[in-house]
Amino acid sequence: MTQSIVHSDVEIHPQLTDPLLADLLHPTRQLWTARELVDLTNTVAAELTTSLRGLLRFDEDQRWWARLALTGGVELWLLSWLPGQQTKPHDHGGASGSFTVLQGELAEEYRYPGGPVRRRAHFAGQGIGFGAGRAHQMSGAGTGSAASVHAYSPPLVATREYTTLADVPAEIAPLPAILFR
């Protein structure tokens, strides 16, 4: 178990020592837009690549993840994927989100309430932001390992899982966040 380093109202993974990350997190910002989140994940993936790759672990039995940072307004994660590893269909409990592919390829099926299920491939360097009403299922694609940086605002909101994306309700109601400190 690792301990986070706390900079005032920011918790940062102890192996991430570049001061750029703390500067990017804007601890006084309480709610981030999808555009701000994708700017964050794009910048972190591009500027902290070496540090992030030093943290990465790949496990054949299960997906691996590590929280990179947490403030009162945003949480940031690093996830690894081997080909075929996937999430269950889920939403983010009313939080907006983003992800940027650090390496490899990810496949995504996603749906907005009342809309069709769509499919999309995401490649290294590509990032997207999305609003609170989106449900998706992601998987490692291609022949090699993949990694991605994810951000959510508000932070620490539970996800809801679905049997299939067809089960996403007509409205995704917000879930309560867990209080930060």
For residue 3, the model assigns a pLDDT of 44
Q: What value, to the nearest 5°, has the Cα angle with vertex 134 and ends 38 and 33? A: 35
| Cα distance between residue 70 and residue 90, in whole Å | 21
Compute mean pLDDT per 10 residues along the chain, 181 residues long, and list them.
Answer: 53 94 93 97 97 96 96 97 97 94 98 93 97 94 96 92 92 70 45
178 burial level (CB within 10 Å; 0-12, 13-18, 19+): exposed
For residue 174, the model assigns a pLDDT of 79
For residue 64, the model assigns a pLDDT of 97
| Cα distance between residue 127 and residue 71, in whole Å | 21
* Sequence letter at residue 81: W
| Cα distance between residue 111 and residue 89, in whole Å | 10
CA 136 to centroid of chain Cα atoms: 12
pTM over 0.85: yes
What is the end-to-end Cα distance of the chain in Å, rounded?
19
| Cα distance between residue 39 and residue 100, in whole Å | 9
5 burial level (CB within 10 Å; 0-12, 13-18, 19+): middle
Residue indicated by tokens 């089960």: 167
Helix spans in the chain (H):
19-24, 34-47, 49-55
For residue 135, the model assigns a pLDDT of 95
Task: Tell me the pLDDT tens digit for each residue of 32-64.
Answer: 999 999 999 999 999 999 999 999 999 999 999
How do the domains of the chain map onto residue ranges? 31-167
DSSP E strands: which ranges in 82-144?
Answer: 90-91, 96-103, 105-111, 118-123, 127-130, 135-141
CATH of span 31-167: 2.60.120.10
